[in-house]
Structure formats: C-alpha cells, structure tokens
Amino acid sequence: MTVQTFREERTKRFDRALSICPYARVRELIPLLFLLYRDNLQDCTLVDLASGNGYLADVLEPLVKRIIRVDSSSSMLAACHGEACHSETNVVTVDLREAHTKLSDIEMERPDAMICLAALHHLYEGIGEGVDSAGSEALQYGLIQEWVKLLAPGGRLILVDVCIPDLPLSHQSTEPFSTKMDRYYEGREELFKERIFTYDPGFIRSLDEYQPEYSINQQLQDLLSNRTLANGISLHDMFEARHFRGTTPDRLIPVEFFNNVVANYSIDGHVAFFPSEEQIRLTLEALGLKNLLVTCFPTPWLFKSEAEAVWFVRELFALGTEPVLDPAEIIEHPDYELIRGFIEEFLGIDKRANPVYTTQVNWQLMFAYGEKSTSG
Ligand SMILES: C[S@@+](CC[C@H](N)C(=O)[O-])C[C@H]1O[C@@H](n2cnc3c(N)ncnc32)[C@H](O)[C@@H]1O
C-alpha cells in the first residue's frame, strides 16, 4: 500500500515555489549535469523518473534528442512546462513500480540515461505496521535492476536522493552527527579530487540560454571562483566552495527534517524509505555497473533573503494548510517563526557573502552514478 502524494494542492504549492525560486535548487543540478554531460548529449534519449513538474527535465530538454518524463502524479505532469509536455509520447503517467513495463511498450530508442532526482525514497513497502525496511530495500533493488535493463549499452544511471550516509564507524555512538559528517567528508577528499569532469563553456552557456531564471552559469561561477577550469572541474573544486558546514545543526540532514517536519506538517504527510548509501553502492555493484560514484554531497539551497527561504520551504513541502501565495507576505504570517525554527533546528540557515543569493539553507543529497557495459 502507498500513500498518495503530490495531489492537486500539494502540487500547486510545489510548482509555485519552484517557479518563483528556480535558482534555489541549482546546487542539486550542478553535479548531476556534470555527471550527465557528454559532447554528444544532443543525440541522447533520457528518461526522467519521477520528473514532477519538470524542474530537471525543463533544463535538459533543449539539449538532448528526447526526454521522457515519468511520474505517478497526474497533477504534477499537468503542471509540466517544457516543450515535451505538448507531446503525450514524452509524458508517461505511471507508478515507478510499473514504469519499466510501460516504457518497454512505448516507441523509443533504448535510453542513454535514466535519471531519478529526489524520489527514490518514495518507493517503499508496508505502511499499516510501519515501513518495511527489508521489503523496501528489495523493492528499490528490483526497480533499479529493471531500469538498468532498459538502458542502452553504455547507458548511464543517475540516482540523486536524500539518503542515510555511510558514517564513519569509530566513536559512532558518542560523536555528534555534524562531527561524523565532517569526518565523512574528510574521508571523501581523495575520491572528490579524482573525479574530474569536462568543463565545456558552450554547454554551460546553453543551460542559461534556455533557462535563464535558474542562473546556473552565475551560480557555477560563484561556486568555482578562483579556480582554473581549463583542465576540467573536480568534485573537490565544487566541494571546497560549498560554504556548507560550520553552523550545521547536529542533525542527519535532511532525513530528520523529513521525518520530523514534513511528515507532521505537510498537507500530504510524508512516508518514505530513505535508501542507505551502502545499499545503493551494493546495488549498483551487483548490477555490474562501471565507473561508479556513490557519495553524499552538500547541495545547499540558495535564496535572495531569509524570508524567501522560509517561504520556499513552507510552500515546497506544503507545510501548513493555507498556501501563502506571495513570498513578501510570509513575514507577517503566524507560521513564520515556526518554519524558521524548523529550518534552524533541522537544516541550518546561513548568511552568505554574495550580493544576490544572500541566504542559504543546508541540504545534502546522495549522488549515485554508474555506467552499463557497452556490450549491453
Ligand atoms: C520531491 S518530488 C521530485 C520531483 C522532481 N524529480 C524534482 O526533483 O523536482 C517527488 C516526485 O515523485 C513522484 N512520485 C512519488 N511516488 C511515486 C511513484 N511511486 N511513482 C512515480 N512517481 C512518484 C511525485 O509525484 C513527485 O513528482
């Protein structure tokens, strides 16, 4: 049994939040875009699993041959903005549990990449007696296996989601989470240095050309200021400029935020099984994917003011029954201090030395990447 999420009202609020602040989640997109980039991207067919209203697909659509948006929520797909939304063949309303069957039935080339952003945790088993962890792991494994089967030879799987990181084992019981996360990232330093991506200025410019309001290029330059890009850009370069920890609360970000805030205050609630980093790594290894990368990475959300951050978080997750339509109205709203308090307690909110994006809310995602063998 599953709980229906992203019904009409929740979708409206999610869509409005991203339409007014499309730049907020760009740090989630940047590593993903580097993982996806190839100089023949315009010849590629992509599938965006649980595409929602198309936050990612809208960026990729003009740059690829075809992108197919898949989601179980008809209101999410109805809110989709891009060109493909006018073509029914590129929009598939189906539960991800059945998506592989439906995708094999439609006329399409085998996908060069299957991507799933911020949605794997919606795939779980059980609920009456609580979420069944073993069943949910098995479900996620089985579906990832089907997605890999669908991929073209050499195709890429990119899963990005909230996850339980592989925290260092020693001192595990006594150390605060924030210290464990710091040690986690220290342990990733070499891996991040080794992972170097092509920096193609033409590609970066084209992202801005089609979606200027995301300001991807501007945010990338801000992220990479003072770095030489001629030889490519490493995950370490992006990590170094993150301005992330420091005032981070002692919480497992953003898992505890979902479990304590979204589950209790969102109009649709929130039931989830957050995969563990280890589970996903073992899955991709077992499925024989190559050139693996599985890691957590800081993806802070950026805003033009603190009030905008509070408004965005409230509306994206539909916290509180009545929507606040205009970010300017949030300061006077009785929920302002409550939501601000939740952000401080579970995520952390910081001022930034940036003239435009002055405020950041800490966020962190797992990026899992693997390539199918070219022999299929
Ligand atoms: C947090 S949103 C992410 C949407 C989009 N990928 C993004 O990053 O903006 C989660 C999406 O997963 C979809 N979803 C949840 N459970 C699903 C399921 N079982 N099958 C297909 N889609 C699902 C929801 O409808 C929603 O659009």
- Per residue of the chain (376 residues), what is the pLDDT tens digit? 556 678 899 999 999 999 999 999 999 999 999 999 998 999 999 999 999 999 999 999 999 999 999 999 999 998 887 666 667 789 999 999 999 999 998 889 999 999 999 999 999 998 777 899 999 999 999 999 999 999 999 999 999 999 999 987 665 567 888 888 888 999 999 999 999 999 898 998 999 998 999 999 999 988 887 677 777 899 998 898 765 545 678 899 999 999 999 999 999 999 999 999 999 999 999 999 999 999 999 999 999 999 999 999 999 999 999 999 999 999 999 999 999 999 999 999 998 888 999 999 999 999 999 999 998 7
Crossing angle of helices 216-224 and 201-210, rounded to 10°: 140
Instruction: State how far the Cα of 239 lies from the Cα of 243, in Å rounded to an integer.
Output: 9
Provide the whole-model pTM.
0.96
Cis upstream peptide for 254 (omega within 30°)? yes
CB 231 within 8 A of CB 196: yes
- Pair 71, 98: CB distance under 8 Å: no
Residues, the chain:
376
Q: Among the atoms of ligand 1, which is closest to the Cα of residue 28?
A: 8
Which atom of ligand 1 has the smallest separation from the CA of 122?
Answer: 16
Report the chain's C-alpha Rg in angstroms.
20
95 lines ligand 1 (CB under 6 A): yes
Please state, in angstroms and rounded to a whole number, the distance separating the CA atoms of residues 99 and 68: 11
Residue 353: Cβ-neighbour burial (10 angstroms; 0-12, 13-18, 19+)? exposed
Distance CA 294, CA 287 (A): 14
Ligand 1 proximity of 155 Cβ (cutoff 6 Å): no
Treating both helix axes as pointing N-terminal to C-terminal, what angle do 8-20 and 306-316 enclose, rounded to 10 degrees? 150
Q: Which amino acid is at 83?
A: E
Atom of ligand 1 nearest to the CA of 95: 20
